[in-house]
Amino acid sequence: MHICHVNLASGFSGGERQTLTLIKQQLAMGYRLTIVVNPKSPLADEIRALEQCQLVLCPHYTRRHERSITATCDLVHVHEGRAIYWALLQRLLHNVPYIVTRRIDNPLKKKWLSQLAYRKASALVGLSSEIIHQLEKHYPDAKLVKIPSSPVIYPVSQDKVEKIKAQFHGKFLVIHAANMYAHKGFNVTIEAARLLANTSPNIQFCLLGDGKEREALALQAKGLSNVHFAGKQTNMGDWFAAADLLVHPSYSEGLGSVILEAMAAGLPVIGTRAGGIPDIIEDNISGFLIEPGDSAALAKKVSHLNKNMIDLSRMQTGALTRAKLFDISACAVLYDKTYNMIKP
């Protein structure tokens, strides 16, 4: 089967890592692949390194609509918002079917072009139950399929792990890793740290990420010695290995790829009952679920795991077990079934 994957994001965040993970698995399964990517994205370099794909550099969805790009493709697989318009044009110009993987649980756009692009898709894939629910409300007649993300497995440098542990020696290390947007709940983490500052001085919160909210968050955390801003990190495997716990108190979340990545590394997670997070975390088995915005509940759960090593160990095992259900081999099979369901 020949699939054309399209991701026109200029950065390299969770969605692009998920796209790359699926591409690698499909190459191992014997697929022929054409990859259409933004030349500014690090994803382009990752695809070049694979050497087994046809790489098409596309700076905008209105560009690169030659018939030859998809002439031998069975279908186009869209992985992010702007790419859907590229697929729509390829469908209108050359009659190539496409599917869309939607990764966010935000309300769908009501713009006519966006609606047309979703209606013309042969199937709509949602990462979580909440995303499927949103799609169903707007496109009840569409073919809807739930296929979750898969955890990216990062390399681990034991030297770097030891350096992180030495930096926070004697501390129960809690990390929150995400782009610093308002919906990611960093304000909840900081308020939980404030509640624990005097009663649990051995708990250290480390915020991994950067973004437009960082200045406001730094102001909120002023005077808190138990909050450390580490900035955006590229060695997440080392942080997962060094930390005791991941917190992810988002107000909204399509699924939460960092949650899967942490769990696959054996790290329990405290997340919120928001978006697709409850699809991943089994409450009191692989972590805890709290209500969005509830910093007191977050502080209570962090404190509990700090004081109860038996529960912490039990949830480490639970996290590893749960993460196996999201392995890329299983998800790739679901995509294979979806492709075969809709290919010409």
CATH of residue 14's domain is: 3.40.50.2000
Predicted local confidence at residue 110, as pLDDT: 83
At 184, list the tokens.
């990611």
Q: Are residues 126 and 166 in the same domain?
A: no
Query: 3-class DSSP state for residue 106?
Result: coil
Predicted local confidence at residue 13, as pLDDT: 83
Predicted local confidence at residue 191, as pLDDT: 98
Q: Are residues 114 and 240 in the same domain?
A: no
Q: How many other C-beta atoms can be found within 10 angstroms of the C-beta atom of residue 142?
A: 16
Residue 125's contacts (CB-CB under 8 Å, 6 or more residues apart) are 99, 100, 101, 102, 144, 145, 146, 147, 335, 338
Q: Long-range CB contacts (< 8 A, 24+ apart) of 159-163?
A: 160/235, 160/238, 161/238, 161/241, 161/242
Q: Are residues 105 and 196 in the same domain?
A: no
Q: Are residues 73 and 6 in the same domain?
A: yes
Predicted local confidence at residue 106, as pLDDT: 82
pTM: 0.87
Asked whether 308 and 249 are in contact (CB, 8 A), the reply is no
Q: Are residues 135 and 188 in the same domain?
A: no
Q: Are residues 38 and 137 in the same domain?
A: yes
Q: Are residues 126 and 186 in the same domain?
A: no
Q: Are residues 201 and 280 in the same domain?
A: yes
Q: Are residues 256 and 302 in the same domain?
A: yes
CB hemisphere CA count around 219 (13 angstroms): 5
List per-residue pLDDT tens for the chain, 344 residues long: 999 999 999 988 888 989 999 999 999 999 999 999 999 999 999 999 998 999 999 999 999 999 999 999 999 999 988 899 999 999 999 999 999 999 988 888 889 999 999 999 999 999 999 999 999 999 999 999 999 989 888 999 999 999 999 999 999 999 999 999 999 999 999 999 999 999 999 999 999 999 999 999 999 999 999 999 999 998 999 999 999 999 999 999 988 889 999 999 999 999 999 999 999 999 999 999 999 999 999 999 999 999 999 999 999 999 999 999 999 999 999 999 999 998 66
Query: 3-class DSSP state for residue 172?
Result: strand
Q: Are residues 171 and 297 in the same domain?
A: yes
The count of structural domains within the chain is 2
Question: How far apart are alpha carbons 256 and 19 in whole angstroms?
Answer: 15
Helices 14-28, 42-50: crossing angle, 10 deg rounding: 10
Q: Are residues 186 and 104 in the same domain?
A: no
Cα–Cα distances in Å, from 305 out to 168, 199, 261, 278, 287?
18, 14, 20, 19, 10
DSSP per residue, 116-167: HHHHH-SEEEESSHHHHHHHHHH-TTS-EEE----PPPPP--HHHHHHHHHH
Determine the structural domain holding residue 287 and report its residue range: 158-324
Q: Are residues 145 and 182 in the same domain?
A: no
Predicted local confidence at residue 30, as pLDDT: 96
Residue that is written with structure tokens 């997070």 in the block: 277
At 203, list the tokens.
């708990």
- Report which residue type is found at 156: V
Predicted local confidence at residue 108, as pLDDT: 82
